[in-house]
């Protein structure tokens, strides 16, 4: 799920039927087909919807569901789960499911073809490793927050994807952090803390970086 302030609507991905639902503030609902299983949603600076597809694609749609372009990610970006586009047009992508050898966050060129920089690699729990990096949030200065599902933490990376610190630890959570939402104005990070058939949202106040 993601929202768009410009069009005042919410977008919801439905993986079962491979579509996106759009709900506006008046309650009007529409939907459109993705024709691939969506694994993540975001809205870019042009107010278009970026759909991350499990098969290694990014599909960009207008707010009304017109397909604007489709990008195929590099072959080593396996099972991408979420994409956010930077102001320069590049993409921040997290990828890696439980059975995959590589779990990382990548910065990818604007044409989707090349990995410019990455953080992570072999699946693990050390600093610099991930186990299912599932969801991203990016602030106004393009610092990147990464929900690391199995390691029960949220990691903060610099705009160049260098490790800064852990902002949410296993002590802060009961279950698994699977989604993030960043309120830039209030400096609050909302983290979904889930297990099968139950969950909660935990709110963290972010301390300003020195």
Decide if 74 is inside a domain. yes
Q: Which of 124, 128, 135, 72 is nearest to 100 (CA)?
A: 124
Identify whether 44 is part of a domain.
yes
Q: In this predicted structure, what is the pLDDT of residue 158?
A: 97
CB 155 within 8 Å of CB 163:
yes
Residues 6+ apart with CB under 8 A from 206: 167, 187, 188, 189
HSE-up of 67 (CA within 13 Å, CB side)?
Answer: 12
Structure confidence at residue 205 (pLDDT): 95
189 in any annotated domain: no
Q: How far apart are CA 150 and CA 204, in angstroms?
A: 20
Q: Is residue 179 part of a domain?
A: no
Domain with 19, as residue range(s), is 2-168
205 part of a folded domain: no
Question: Domain containing 145 — which CATH number?
Answer: 2.120.10.30
How many angstroms from the chain centroid is the CA of residue 145?
9
- Which two three-digit tokens encode residue 21? 């639902």
In a domain, 208, yes or no: no
Under-50 pLDDT residues of the chain? none
Task: Examine residue 148 and state whether it is found in any structural domain, yes or no.
Answer: yes
Q: What pLDDT does 209 receive? A: 58
Which pLDDT value is given to residue 210?
53
Q: Which residues pair with 138 in a beta bridge?
A: 144
> How many structural domains comprise the chain?
1
In a domain, 187, yes or no: no
pTM score, two decimals?
A: 0.95
């Amino acid at each position: 799920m993601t929202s768009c302030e410009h069009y005042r609507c919410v977008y919801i991905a439905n993986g079962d039927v491979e579509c996106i639902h759009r709900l506006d503030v008046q309650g009007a609902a529409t939907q459109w087909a993705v024709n691939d299983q969506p694994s993540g949603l975001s809205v870019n600076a042009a107010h278009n919807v970026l759909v991350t597809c499990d098969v290694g694609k990014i599909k960009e749609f207008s707010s009304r569901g017109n397909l604007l372009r489709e990008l195929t990610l590099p072959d080593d970006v396996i099972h991408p789960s979420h994409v956010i586009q930077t102001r320069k047009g590049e993409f921040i992508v997290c990828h890696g499911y439980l059975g995959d050898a590589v779990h990382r966050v990548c910065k990818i060129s604007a044409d989707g073809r090349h990995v410019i920089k990455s953080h992570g690699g072999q699946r693990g729990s050390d600093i610099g490793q991930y186990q299912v990096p599932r969801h991203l949030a990016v602030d106004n200065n393009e610092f990147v927050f990464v929900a690391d599902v199995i390691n029960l933490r949220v990691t903060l990376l610099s705009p160049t994807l260098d490790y800064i610190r852990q902002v949410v630890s296993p002590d802060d959570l009961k279950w698994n952090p699977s989604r993030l939402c960043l309120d830039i104005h209030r400096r609050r990070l909302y983290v979904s803390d889930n297990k099968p058939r139950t969950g909660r949202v935990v709110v963290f106040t972010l301390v300003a970086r020195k």
